[in-house]
Every structure is written in structure tokens, then in C-alpha cells.
Amino acid sequence: MIDQLCDLSARAVFFPVRHHSPACARHVRALARAMKPAAILIEGPSDFNDRVRELYLPHTLPIAIYSYVRLEDGARRGGYHPFCEYSPEWVALRTAKELKAVARFIDLPYADIANIDATANRYADRGLAQSKFVARLCQRAGVETFDELWDAHFEADRDLPLEEFVRRAHQFCLHSRLMDDTVSESDRLRESFMAEQVRAALKEFKGHVLVVTGGYHSSALFARLNGLDFHGTKDPEREQDAPPDEGERGIALTPYSYERLDSLRGYNAGMPNPGFYHQAWRDAEAGRTNTHRELLARVAKVLRRAGQPISSADLIAAEGTAQGLAQMRGRTAVWRSDLVDGITGALIKEERAYNMRHPLLDAVHEVFRGGERGELAKGTALPPLVTDLKKQLAEHELEPRQVPRNADLDLEKEEDRERSRVLHRVRVLGIAGFSRTEGTDFAQRGNLVKLWERWDVKWSPDHDATAVEAARYGAALLDAAAARLTERAATIDRNAEDAALLVLDAAFAGLSNLAGEFAARLAAIVRSDADFFNVTKALGHLLYLFVHDHVLSTSGRSDIGALFAETYARGLWLLETLGQPSGNEREATTGVAALLDAFERAGEALNFDRAELVGVFERVSASAHTAPILRGAALGALWTLGESDAHRARAALLLFADPARLGDFLTGLFALAREAVQRNPDLVVAVDQVVAAFGDDEFLEALPALRLAFTYFTPREKHHLGLTLLGALGIKDAASLTKLEVTAKEMAEALAFESRVWDAAKKYGVRLGDE
Amino acid sequence: MAKKPATKPASAPTPKAAPVADSGPGANLQRPAAEVLYAAELDKLAERDKAQPKPKGWKLTPRSVLSFVLGDEDMGLAPKFVGSRAFLERAIVALATNRGLMLIGEPGTAKSYLSELLAAGISGDSTLTVQGSAGTTEDNIKYSWNYALLLAEGPSERSLVPAPVYRGMREGKIVRFEEITRCPIEIQDTLLSVLSDRVLAIPELDGPERSLFAQAGFNVIATANTRDRGVNDMSAALKRRFNFETVQPIGSIEDEMALVTREAGKMLARAAIPVSLQADVVEVLVTTFHELRHGKTGDGKALEPLSTAMSTAEAVSCAYAAGIHAYYYGGGDVEPAHLVQHLVGTALKDAPDDVKKLSGYFNHVMKGRKRGAWPAYYEARKHLP
Ligand SMILES: Nc1ncnc2c1ncn2[C@@H]1O[C@H](COP(=O)(O)OP(=O)(O)OP(=O)(O)O)[C@@H](O)[C@H]1O
Ligand SMILES: [Mg+2]
């Protein structure tokens, strides 16, 4: 089969590409020029064929063909076919024009398979990258990633002859295909469709046909056309869904950026480091060598800008090491990983934490990412987002005008809520001219009596530019906002509260569910946060959304519930390892209260395990290495849960009968068991006994924290506790106590003074009162 | 006692007779040097490299050094150091381009072991070693005198007692400088001229013997432990003469399992203790070390890092200790409960915060694991203090 695949004189020649590979781009052009095909068939959305002309306008790359669709269940999906100047598909298009050959896309419209294939980057390398063959080759070659393997075999050697390149690529892709366990349904449907297009083209055109597709598909297409039995060419049985209505799907050009291209991960990943390959492509085009030197110079520039200049001696050392590495790896020129390793080896002079960033490597990555941002040529249809934006703003009477105006929204009214959602989407996308100036603070939740917002709406000169810019996030306002939020989630580093606030933003924007990648990322953030305070604050926000909200349509939603449960579990664990929260003891009780609250309000709905919660509180309350305030809080929580009682609280008091600890312990206890304590006022009598045993200095030491502890009670409650105490002490006339109008500070000073008097009296042998 | 877990045979290679059996090179040594232990491998590689261009003074090509250190199944080279190939390539290229190599990292990441392997591969000799400490003097590094001869004959090559750097320069070999940051900075700095000018001044001697010029092949591999004294205690001038490489702990759990099984197996074999480590038991042990070390569980939950390094070396000794325990006090099978007991001894020493973190790990991470030896391991948490 390999020999047939590599026959470059066949009527239909299959050229296997890795998307975004400059080497493939170069060779596909050479092949096309040599074989002068009548048609070049390219893996790309066939529903764009009638508009291929638009691609030939003088755009600034990168740009993408964006396909979008609304599925039957209401979910929206979008897919990109991104093009850089070194993309094989792009170069194939240009070469077709040069050769006056027909250029045609042959893939299924994305909208037709979006329901079974959510991969947004339509030029991802999933098939190749995931194959066991590649994993095994990497292992044998001792490289860590598919990208390095690809570099070593296909990119780094510019002088590889065309035939050799094609043979190698076919061999590589064929084996990857054969060792892939399952060829997905979507791939089989697409291949069936593509094969059909090739067949039709062979009928339609007299001459040769060049078929440019991902290498993973080449062999399968060849097999289908030649009626061969081949792995993964069985057509799936599929009842055809009714195609989505017009208006529910669309396709258009949209600007793209290297930053976005480089940020793709997982299923969506393609070739990384567009900045590197861009430069490598340009150098090869111009016949220049020494790409690495230019890039190294740029790294130096980035570092200088960041205030971390590196000397020329350093640069020489880095280059020397890079060259040594290239040589050892059997390459003629310094390539991507040689440069990274050269810089790492020669210039980093300290320990590198595992998987951690380093300013030097950040600079390298910035250069490797590249800063190119695409722009559509004048005369291209406006990106769909801009059209949708105009429509939505008009529908809700929110168009920006020269004269600024306010929009006051009452969130209890559905129509105002819808306007609010539109405005929040616009805000999330950073489209100029709209700002929320006042309204209910849902993050603080101080006052939730009136739920409202005030927005400033005015035309801004940046409005159009920012709208076009935002078009890269999607075709419809809602999708684009969702994509933007997902992107923002990717930039949050271990801060659960930030993640929860992002969920709040998603709720404002009216995202009816936290879709796959977004939800996964949020959960990952929560899991990676090791800060008890962040996590319990996040819990508070999510509790509001899941239980209390009635205007954002989030209460009871299962996606929010899932994140809430994740956050709760994380909070419990962190509580147990918290130990001594120095400085913010008070907040720690708030955190414990948030956990208890979460359990009490949502535990049933979400099946929280009571025994687990009790177990954690038990261990915390008993742990000798834990701060008294936390132990008190844990005990208080147990009491509130009905898992502890006044008897145990009294016993615990004795453990904390130490002026440095008593107040803190009680603060924790009272914060979490306010009601239980009131029901058992004799606890205060026990406290009194402990305090009575203190000496004066000890009492003064204990006083501030004791005072704090009692602030958890309202004046009424304190009065009640006071009466109980006086009753127990046999003091009838309590009225005089309440008349005392001094501040605690004055009181403390008075006591301190009194204590000094006592000391002085003792020293001079004076007997005072009834000592 | 924990219930005996269902054991399945180890999937990781069971410890076959380790190279240090009762015959073969270095059989009677407690710990033979790498070039003795692996003499046959080195010969084979040297044979392959006979006609290849090599860096001056090297016994092998850089590629062969790499194969030697990482092992190569096809060539019958035993796996030794486990680590990323790119990292090792950087380390070897540093040495080949005449820069010193500084290996830094947490304790127990095999810095010393790696420097030994590199020296054995490059120079065929890993014994030129300076052990750094607060008391290290120039004499220990460069040379000293035989005072009897010195008094009798005056300073001469005969009365000079060479130290590792002197020998490395004269013979064109790699010199290993262990724990360099434990030495006072002035002592470290004696390497400055040696590394930049590649010449050692011997002011006591006359004529051409006053300067010892380094033979090609001379270079220095230093190691430093980031826990006890970081590389901050090193002059900028000296730093500039080294390429720094951080030795990372082993990245993959499978690799680490294989290594722990292999190394602990060797140690048990040497102690003539017929206990074998089952794969599921090694799995829980290595996973615990791995997750606590990286501060992250397999499913991405962040853990508070412990104050001990939780190194692979400690995992090996924990497995070894558990093996002994099982043999003398148990039924002969290493059970999760043995591990937990030794985990406390090897890893936690006596940091109360670590104990809390460890029990948090047991209670919140392990509880959910139902496979293999996990449930028994979770049950054994009662052995935690
Ligand atoms: N990556 C690894 N590859 C092979 N063995 C390893 C690895 N990591 C740890 N080991 C094991 O750990 C043992 C101890 O290594 P070594 O003494 O060289 O560590 P070190 O980094 O020098 O520690 P220290 O900083 O305490 O001196 C090795 O002999 C080996 O059994
Ligand atoms: Mg060491």
C-alpha cells in the first residue's frame, strides 16, 4: 500500500499533512507545481466552497473559517479552520490559484457533525497525536512529545527531497492510523464524505487531482477509493438528524491570532509555538539559515524590556549549548527544543521547580508564541458576531449613541433581566461603550432587598474595533461570551474564589450551563487551590447561586451543584490541614460556618455525607496542633449539628482554661453554636468559673479575646446570658450592671490600674478590703 | 492488623539477581564503583565508538554516554538513572562544551549517583571525588605535601600528594565535587581559575612544574542539595562557569515503581531476605510519595507539601524497611500496614504539621480509592501517630 500511496504520478495523489506544518506546506507546493493538477482538493468545510473567493482577498493572517450551529437540544457549537501563512491548506489554496487549478474544500460541513464531534479546532491533530504508534515511537526515540518527534523527522531537515518526505509522512501516518484503536464515528463519516468528493472530482476533471488532507485520513481515503479493506472505513450507521434550519447555522471568515492558536490544549491542540514556525517558514522562503539566532535575539529583547537584560556572553553560551545539543541530536541546524534546552542549560542558574514557570522560559515562550493578529481585508463580509451584536442591541434598545444614557434595570422583571444578560455578555467580551456603574453587589451580598443594575451606554470610537476583535470568540453574542469566559478560566491560577466569581459572571451573562471544558477547568481550579479562605469564600458565592438565587436562574442547577460539591469537599479537606491560621483566625470561623451552612442548606439535595462532615469536625476539635479558635468552631459546629452537647462543651472548657486560649476557643464556639449556647446559658456559668480562677494579669490577657467572643451575641442575648449568670451567682439586683457606661478600653485600663494598686499595696504590706 | 490484601504478582520487573551477586566484577566490594560494576557495558560501548569522533579526552561519544546512563534495551545496557532525556542531553553537552556541570535538586534525587555514572561513562573513572563540607580545605581539593619527603628533599613532584582536581587535570578526567555549597565560598572559589584558565598554579615548584595545564577531558561535575544550603551561597563568578541542571524527581509513577521495586529488591537480596514486593503494595507506596512530593493528586487536587522531601531514595528505604519488618514480624508478605508504619519513620520524622497533612491525605484522598491495596492501606491509617 505504501508504494501505491507514494506514487506521485497517479491520477489522484494523496498528500498527507500535519496541519500547520511549514514543512508540509513547502512540500505540498512543490508537489503541486510538479504535477500541475486540474484540481486541488483540500480538507476544509465544503459549505464554504461558494465563497472561496473571499479567502483570496488581501487579509492579514491568521484568519479562520468559523462554522457555527445550534443543535437540536439548543446547545451551540462552533468550529474553526484556522489559517496561518505557513499552513499547508493555505499554501495549497494559493498554489491552486498560481497554477489556475480548481481549489475545493471536501470535508463535511462542521454543522453536520457538530452533534457528535465537539472539537472546536478543526485542524487539531488528534488522530495522529493520540495514536499508540506515536507514543511508542516517542519512547524509542527518547523524546517527550509528539511535537518533538515530528520536528525531528519532518521539520528540522529542510533539505529532505520531496519523494522522501512524502514516503516518510505516509509511513508515519499510516502506522498511526493502523495502531489507533478506534476510528471515531465522526472521522468515518467525514472520510466517507471526502472520498465521495474525490470520486466526483475524478469524474469531473480530466487531469490529475491532488488531495490534501490530514495524514491520518490519507490512507483511509485511498483505501476507500480503491475498494480496499482498511482499518476504520466501515461507515457508521446513523440516522440522519434533520439538518438544522437555516439561520441556526452559518459560516464566515473571522480574524484569528497566534495567541489563540498557541493556547489550544488537549483535544483541540494543534502544532504549538506558531511564532517559531512562522519565523522558520519565512527564513526557509527567503533562503536564510540561523532562525535560532534571530529568535534568540528576540528573546533577549523581551528580557531587556522586562528589565532582565542578558549579556552577550550569556547569549554566546546559550547558542553554544544549543548547537552542541543539535549536533548530539543529529541535526544540521538548531531547532525548537535545542534552543529551549540551550537557554535552559546555559542561563538558568538556580533550582527549577517541577513544572514551574521561569521568567527566562516565559520570554522564550512569548517569542515562540508570536504576536500576529489577523485582520480581515476590506470588503469581507463583517464577522457574524458583529451582525448578531447589532441585532441584539437593537432588539433590547441598547444601541450606543453619541449622547450617553443610563439603563436602569429591575432584575425582578424578566425583560430587564434579558437586557442585563445582553449587557453582561457585551461586558465580558470587552466591547467598548458599556459599563455597569451601580447596582446590587452579588459578590458581597450585603443588601439583597432590591435587585437592580444601572448601566452607562454610550457610543465610543472603539466600539466597532472591539466588536470585530471579539468576533474571534464566536458568531453569536452568547457563544462568544461563553468562549471568552472559558478562556478567562484558563488564566486563573489556583484561586477558587476567582473561579466562583467567574461562575457568577457566567450567570449574569445567562449561560444556561457551564459547558464541558469550562466546567472542567473550574473544577480543576478548585481542586488545585490550597487556601482554605479562598475555597470557603467560593463556597459562599456558589451557595448563593445554587440555593438562594431567584433572578439568575441558577438555583438547583446540576452543573452548579457539581462545582459546589467539589468546592465543599475541598473545603473540608483544607479545614483539616489548616492548623494555625495566623492572622486571620476570625475569617477561619467564617469558613467553618460556610461549610456547615453548605451542608445544612444543600447537603440533602447533593447527597453530602454527614458522617464525613462529622468526622472532620471531630478530628479538628480534638487536634492538639490546631488553633483553639478552630477547635472551638469545630465543636460548635458539632453542637449545632446535634452531635455534641453542653456537657461536652463544658468539659472542653477545661482544656482551654488558659488565658491565652480561652477567648479564642469561645470565639470559635460561639460563632458556630450561637443558638445552642443560648439554649444552655449555664455554659456561661462554667466560663465564669474558669475566669474567676484567673489572676488579674491573666484576666487582662484573656479579656480582649473574651470580649470578641461575646460579640457574636446581640445585646438582648447578652443581657439574657448576663441575667442567667447573675442568677447563678445569687445576685438579684442586676439593674446596676446595665447602667455601666464605659468602653471596654476604659474598663481594661481601670482594671489594670486597680491591679497595680493591689500589687503596690501588697509590696508595701498594706491590706486592702477583704483580701 | 489490616486485612491481608489480595496480592497479585508484581508487574514491574521482579528483582532478578542484581549485578552484585556473588560473582562478577566487584563481587566482594560493598559498593563497587560504577566503572567496575558496569565494566562490560563500558567496553561494549567503547568498541562501538572506536571509529567515532569524540570530544577530546572522552572515552565515549556523548551519545554513548547517554545510552550508558539511561540504559538501552537493544544493546543490553541496564537501566540506571531514570530521568528526562532532554535533561541528560543538556548535562552531557555542557560537559562536552567544556563548561562545568552543576547538578542541583532536592535530597535523594540521585544527583550523586548521576555524577558517578557520568564520570564513569566519560572518563572511565568515577573515583576522583571531593566531598564538600564546612571543613573542606584547598588541600583536599588540589594537592598537599608529604611532609617527610618535603623536609628531606624539598618541594618536588615526588613530595606532592595529588588531590582529585590535580589528578583530574593531569589525567584528563572528570572530577566530582559533592555538596559543593557546604564548603566556604573562598574554598569553592579555588575552582575559578581551574575552570576558566584550565591551569593550576603550584607556586612551591619551579620551572615548568609551577603550572599544571589540564589535559583534555578534565572537567568538574558538582552537586548541591537545595534543602540544606541553596546555590545562593555561591559566588556569581563561579556560577558563571557552570551550567546548572536541576535534577527533577522521577516524573512517572510507573517508572518510579519499577525503580523502587528494583532497588529495594536488590537491597533485600543483598540482605538475604526472601521477601518480594507485590506490585499493588509498591503502587500505593510510590503513589503516596509521588503525590505528596508534587503536592498534587493524580486527579489534580492540590496537597500541602510536607517539610520532608519525600524522595525516591526514601521510598526505596521505606520499601526495604517494610520488607524486613514483614519478614521478621509478619507473615512474609509486605502489607500496607507495614508501609504505613515505616512511612512515619522514614518520611515524617517528627514534624507535627506533616502528620496532620498526611492524615488529611489519608482521609480525603485515599478514602475514595477502592482498587488494589488502597482499601487496606486506608485502614492502616490507624498506625499514624
Ligand atoms: N531518578 C533516579 N534514577 C535512579 N535512581 C534514583 C533516582 N532517584 C532516586 N534514586 C535512588 O536514590 C538513591 C540515592 O541517590 P543519591 O544519593 O545519588 O541522591 P542525592 O541526590 O545525591 O541525595 P543527597 O542530596 O542527599 O546527596 C539512588 O542510589 C537510587 O537508588
Ligand atoms: Mg548526594
Is the model more confident about B276 or about B21?
B276
Amino acid at A434: F
SS3 A12: strand
- Amino acid A697: pLDDT: 83
Q: How far apart are CA A652 and CA A621, in angstroms?
A: 9
Cell numbers standing for residue A658: 488558659
Whether the CB-CB separation of B60 and B72 falls below 8 Å is answered with no
B positions 340-379 inside 8 Å of A (CB): 352-353, 355-357, 359-360, 363-364
Assess whether the C-beta atom of B87 lies below 6 angstroms from ligand 1: no
Q: How far apart are CA A585 and CA A631, in angstroms?
A: 11
Assess whether the C-beta atom of B250 lies below 6 angstroms from ligand 1: yes
The rounded Cα A690 to chain-centroid distance in angstroms is 52
Smallest CA–CA separation between A626 and chain B, in Å? 9
What would the pLDDT profile of B170-223 be if each residue is shown by its tens digit?
A: 999 999 999 999 999 999 999 998 998 999 999 888 888 889 999 999 999 999
Pick the residue from chain A with its C-alpha nearest to B232: A350
What would the pLDDT profile of A117-148 be if each residue is shown by its tens digit?
A: 888 899 998 878 888 899 899 888 888 889 99
Residue to mutate among B85, B356, B366, B382, with most A CBs inside 10 A, is B356
Judge whether residue B11 has pLDDT over 50. Answer: no
What would the pLDDT profile of A364-420 be if each residue is shown by its tens digit?
A: 999 999 999 888 888 888 878 898 999 999 999 999 998 999 999 999 999 999 999
Judge whether residue A529 has pLDDT over 80. Answer: yes
Q: How far apart are CA A392 and CA A397, in angstroms?
A: 8
Q: How far apart are CA A217 and CA A304, in angstroms?
A: 46
Longest dimension (CA), chain A: 125
What would the pLDDT profile of A635-672 be if each residue is shown by its tens digit?
A: 999 999 999 988 898 888 888 888 888 888 999 999 99
The confidence band for A733, taking pLDDT boundaries of 50, 70 and 90, is low
Q: How far apart are CA B69 and CA B41, in angstroms?
A: 11
Task: Say whether residue B100 is in contact with chain A using an 8 A CB cutoff.
Answer: no
- E strand residue ranges, A602-733: none
Pick the residue from chain B with its C-alpha nearest to A579: B353
Contact B84 A144 (CB under 8 A): yes
Computed over every residue of chain A, the mean pLDDT equals: 88
Longest dimension (CA), chain B: 78
Judge whether residue A54 has pLDDT over 60. Answer: yes
**Closest CB from A325, A349, A494 relative to B89:** A325
Strand order in the sheet with A452-457: A405-410, A452-457, A434-439
The confidence band for A707, taking pLDDT boundaries of 50, 70 and 90, is confident
Is the bond preceding residue A62 a cis peptide, omega within 30 degrees?
yes
- Amino acid B347: pLDDT: 67
SS3 A641: coil
Smallest CA–CA separation between B34 and chain A, in Å? 23
A positions 293-352 inside 8 Å of B (CB): 313, 317, 320-321, 324-325, 328-329, 337, 341, 344-346, 348-352
Of the residues B81, B85, B102, B109, which should be mutated to test ligand 1's pocket, given the most ligand atoms within 8 Å of the CB?
Answer: B109
Q: Burial of A383 by CB count in 10 Å (0-12 exposed, 13-18 middle, 19+ buried)? A: buried
Computed over every residue of chain B, the mean pLDDT equals: 86
SS3 B13: coil
Which residues does chain B have within 8 Å of residue A341's beta carbon, measured at their own beta carbons? 86, 89-90
DSSP element (H, E) containing A368: helix A359-369
Of the residues B113, B245, B310, B314, which should be mutated to test ligand 1's pocket, given the most ligand atoms within 8 Å of the CB?
Answer: B113
Strand order in the sheet with A39-45: A12-17, A209-214, A39-45, A102-107
Q: How far apart are CA A539 and CA A497, in angstroms?
A: 8
Q: How far apart are CA A554 and CA A542, in angstroms?
A: 9
Smallest CA–CA separation between A631 and chain B, in Å? 14
Q: How far apart are CA A427 and CA A97, in angstroms?
A: 42
Report the phi/psi class of residue B207: left, alpha or beta, with left for phi > 0 and alpha for psi in -120 to 50.
left
Task: Say whether residue B63 is in contact with chain A using an 8 A CB cutoff.
Answer: yes
Q: Kindly list the domain boundaries of chain A, sorted by start residue.
A: 2-250, 274-369, 385-473, 740-771
In sequence order, what are the residues at sequence separation of 6 or more whose Cβ sits closer than 8 angstroms to the Cβ of residue B271? Answer: B324
Percent of chain A exceeding pLDDT 70 equals 94
Q: How far apart are CA B21 and CA B27, in angstroms?
A: 6
> Among B316, B361, B320, B351, which Cα is nearest to B338's?
B320
Q: For chain B, give the number of residues.
A: 385
Q: How far apart are CA A275 and CA A367, in angstroms?
A: 6
What would the pLDDT profile of A259-296 be if each residue is shown by its tens digit?
A: 888 877 777 888 899 999 999 999 999 999 889 999 99
Whether the CB-CB separation of A467 and A243 falls below 8 Å is answered with no
Which residues does chain B have within 8 Å of residue A569's beta carbon, measured at their own beta carbons? 364
Q: How far apart are CA B174 and CA B119, in angstroms?
A: 6
Average pLDDT rounded to a whole number, residues B41-50: 95
The confidence band for B14, taking pLDDT boundaries of 50, 70 and 90, is very low
Judge whether residue A709 has pLDDT over 90. Answer: no
What would the pLDDT profile of A6-50 be if each residue is shown by its tens digit?
A: 999 999 999 999 999 999 999 999 999 999 999 999 999 999 999
ipTM: 0.80
Average pLDDT rounded to a whole number, residues A440-452: 88
What would the pLDDT profile of A160-197 be if each residue is shown by its tens digit?
A: 999 999 999 999 999 999 988 888 999 999 999 999 99
> What DSSP designation does B197 have?
T
The protein residue whose alpha carbon is closest to atom 5 in ligand 1 is B81
Contact B93 A344 (CB under 8 A): no
Assess whether the C-beta atom of B107 lies below 6 angstroms from ligand 1: yes
Whether the CB-CB separation of B43 and B36 falls below 8 Å is answered with no
> Among A599, A657, A597, which Cα is nearest to A628's?
A657
- Amino acid A745: pLDDT: 73
